[in-house]
Structure 1
C-alpha cells in the first residue's frame, strides 16, 4: 500500500513538472518579447513571432464603443529596435495559460511604463503555435486604459519613481 502511494506521488510530481516545463516553454517568447522591448532589441523581438504575425489593439472610443487597430508584428518589431529616451517596461501578472496540442493561448494583465512613469494598463492575449523552433506568437491582442488600473504593489514599487 505504501509503495502504491509513493508511486502515485512520484507520477503526480513528474506530470506536474512536465506541465510546468511546457508552461515555461510557452511563456518563453512572451518573456523574451518584453525583454526585447526593454533592450530595444529587434532581433530578439523578431525571434518571438511567426513571419506573418499580427497585432491588434482594442480601445474604447469617445462614444464608449470598441475600436480595433491591427497591424503586422514586423511594424512593431521595427519600432522596438529604435533607440528610446526612456526604457519600455511591461511587467505582467495573473498569467493564464491554455494549451491543446500545438496551440496555446496566454492571457495576462500588464502595466506599461516609460522609464519610471506609468503609462497605461490592460490585458495582453497571446496566441502561439509550437514550431520546430519552439513556441512562436502568431497573434497578440491587447486592451489599453489609463484608469481603473489595479497594478500590484510589488510592481509599482519596482517601476514607479519615488
Structure 2
C-alpha cells in the first residue's frame, strides 16, 4: 500500500512540475508569437489585430526619468493608445525593432522581457525594454499588462 501511495504521489508531483517554470519551448514560442502579432498590428496600425492578442482590461504603463532626472511612470488608457496608433499619418514612418526576448512561463502565466529600438522616419528615436505579462485563457495567450522603459543612452551597438 505504501508503495502504491508513493507511486501516485510521485506521478502527481511530476505532473505538476511538468507544467511549472520549465515550460516547454512550444509555450514560450506561443508567447513570443502573441507579442509579435501585437507588433504586427502596431506597425500595420490595425486595432483589430492588436485587440485579438490583449485582454479587455489590459494595463499600459511607461517608466523613465523626467528632465530633472526624477523617476516617473504613467498609465495610459488602452483606447487612447489604439486611437494614437491608427491616427498616425502615412507620411510618418515608424518601426519598433524587437532586439531580444527573454520569456518565462509558469502554468497559465508568462512574462516576456523584450528589448527594442524605436525608429521614426528612418532615424533612431529611443530604446528600452517592454515587459509583458500574459495569461493563458484556455489555450490562448493574452497580454494583460505592458510597461516599458525609454531612453537614448546605451541603445545602439557602437
Structure-2 change in CA distance of 1:133 and 1:82 (3 Å): farther
- Counterpart CA distance in 2 for 1:106 and 1:83 is 27
Deviations 1:62-109 (A, max 9, x none): 232210110232221222222422232111122101111100000011
Alignment of 1:138 with 2:147, yes or no, is: no
Query: Which has more radius of gyration?
Result: 2
Aligned residue number for residue 45 of structure 1:
50
- Counterpart CA distance in 2 for 1:72 and 1:100 is 28
- The answer as to whether partners of 1:37 and 1:88 remain within 8 angstroms in 2 is no
1:68 aligns with one of 48, 69, 73: 73
RMSD (CA atoms): 1.8
Report how far residue 34 of structure 1 moved: 1.1
SS at match of 1:29: helix
Aligned residue number for residue 59 of structure 1:
64
For structure 1, the residue ranges without an aligned partner over 5 or more in a row are 1-17, 154-162
Aligned residue number for residue 105 of structure 1:
111
- Counterpart CA distance in 2 for 1:24 and 1:103 is 14
Alignment of 1:1-162 (within 5 A): 19-84=24-89, 85-132=91-138, 134-151=140-157
Aligned residue number for residue 160 of structure 1:
none
- Counterpart CA distance in 2 for 1:74 and 1:49 is 12
- Counterpart CA distance in 2 for 1:131 and 1:46 is 15
For structure 2, the residue ranges without an aligned partner over 5 or more in a row are 1-22
SS at match of 1:91: strand
